[in-house]
Amino acid sequence: MTDFLRCIKRNTRRAGLFITVALLLTACGDGVQEGVQKAAWNDPYAPGESIKNIYYSSFSLRPKHLDPA
Question: Could you list the mean pLDDT of each consecutive 10-residue stretch along the chain, which spans 69 residues?
Answer: 80 89 74 56 73 81 76
pTM of the predicted protein model: 0.39
* Structure confidence at residue 36 (pLDDT): 56
Measure the CA–CA gap between 39 and 5, rounded to whole angstroms: 47
* Structure confidence at residue 33 (pLDDT): 53
Q: Which amino acid is at 62?
A: R
* Structure confidence at residue 9 (pLDDT): 82
Residue 50 CB partners (closer than 8 Å, separation 6+): 37, 39, 43
* Structure confidence at residue 13 (pLDDT): 87
